[in-house]
Amino acid sequence: MKHCLVLSLFVCLFFNTTSTQAQDRLLSQFYNAHRGVAVTFRIGVGRLPMRFISGLIPRDKVADGADAKMIFSKIHKIKLYAMEGYDGPIPAADLLSLKRKLIDKDHFDVLMEVRDKGSVVHVLNKGADDNLGNVVMLIQDEKDILIVHLHTSLKVDDINMLIREFNKKSSSSTTSTASL
């Protein structure tokens, strides 16, 4: 009986998503405001499942495995909010209002903005010094909005290392393709 109780407690903790205390209030308000006018979906993954995923990545000397293992070990929680408008796209002004509130009220900083053929990606963070801390990605396509909220201990150097690795791989793939 004790083993069953301990096992069920472990399973509950293992599959527990981020608690309601950890939810960012502004993101939840935005999500709830659009639940009646859009198809919505929300999922969160807490620290224990992220550590489990990190443990599944092999410890080979291959750069890809090391980079993925490092990234997953430094992501503590992730929450995804997906929305698609019923009758059309969710107004871009709504997402810009959310971005402005995150900057003004929660003191997030803008890391990057990318626009391409009607799609917009805003990357915001709230961290100390070179630690990214909380990262929020606001992604709007023609009809869809995806919000990704990460609680991390990633450093700016970690991201720069990943960018350098990506550039090496993309330049080596173009040279190998050109040699064919």
* Helix/strand/coil for 121: strand
HEC sequence for 45-71: ECHHHHHHHHHHCCCCCCHHHHHHHHH
The mean pLDDT value for 91-112 works out to: 90
- Mean pLDDT lowest for which of 29-33, 45-49, 135-139? 45-49
φ, ψ (nearest 5 deg) of residue 77: -145, 150
pLDDT value at position 149?
Answer: 93
Measured from the Cβ of residue 117, the count of other Cβ atoms closer than 10 Å reads: 6
Is the Cα torsion angle 141, 145, 146, 149 positive or negative in sign?
A: positive
Cα 142 from Cα 92, distance rounded (Å): 10
Instruction: Give Cβ neighbours of residue 120 (< 8 Å, ≥ 6 apart).
Output: 92, 95, 113, 114, 138, 139, 140
Cα 124 from Cα 113, distance rounded (Å): 9
User: In the beta sheet, which residues pair with residue 109?
Assistant: 125
Cα 3 from Cα 150, distance rounded (Å): 34
Cα 38 from Cα 87, distance rounded (Å): 8
**Domain range list for the chain:** 23-45+75-174
pTM of the shown model = 0.71
Report pLDDT digits (tens) over 59-98: 654 455 556 677 777 888 889 999 987 777 788 888 999 9
